[in-house]
Amino acid sequence: MTAGAGPDVALLHGWGMHGGLFKDLAAGLEPDFRVHVLDLPGHGRSAFGKGDQDLEGIARRVAEHIPERCSLLGWSLGGLVAARIARLFPARVPRLVLVASSPRFLKGRDWPHGGEEKTLTALAAGLKRDWRGTINDFLGLQVRGDEHQLETLRALKSTVFANGEPGLQALAAGLEVLRTTDLRPELALIRARTLVIGGAYDRLAAPGAIEALAAGIPGARAVIVPRAAHAPFLSHPAAFLGLVTEFLSSP
């Protein structure tokens, strides 16, 4: 979906979701920008192809469907995709907004900001038994700790399947991307002017991960939204829209 007028910006959603989740954010940006709302491969109305099994393939596929010069806003898994596109095609991405996205989602010896592998293992196992229930469980993780937890969870659940059901292959591939990706070695190669936004109570992309992500990208700035969790564009829409509009509009 494309609407609005002005500089191009594309919105990339997270795992198990679709672009329709950005309906209100897109409407807020449309007076100043030409907004492109995409479904990642295998999500929403987008088909899943043989080359969409890993982050590189997903990023190159998405890059085929955005304008030649286009700023990117990526949330969670979409943030990993956006960052990889910005690294692969630096001349095409002038600005980058990474939302609740960690350069490495799993904890490691040199990375205390990630989650436990057993969480993603349980989600992967759950897909085979009850994929709808597994996605709903994941939505619960996303809002935990948010001051508007119940309202945000209702917003997520009311739209999660509105544009069609995600494919099991895409869901499994997305979890594998979250489990295996470590963007830290390539962050210094990103040339886009970058804003990194996180929630103070996010359990999936902790504030430490947000700050480390911004520190790794030359010139990037980190903003932590108070009392927000993993979906600040839903839980704190006015503050979020203000941050993004100011960043995308600034000289």
Catalytic residues: 76, 202, 230
CA 156 – CA 118 distance, rounded (Å): 24
Do 79 and 55 contact (CB within 8 A), yes or no?
Answer: no
225: β partners: 199
Q: What is the DSSP letter of 17?
A: -
CA 86 – CA 63 distance, rounded (Å): 10
Do 18 and 162 contact (CB within 8 A), yes or no?
Answer: yes
Q: What's the token pair of residue 224?
A: 């932590």
CA 195 – CA 174 distance, rounded (Å): 24
Only one residue has tokens 């002038």, namely 94
CA 149 – CA 154 distance, rounded (Å): 9
Only one residue has tokens 């962050």, namely 187
Task: Compute φ and ψ for 31, nearest 5 degrees.
Answer: -65, -25
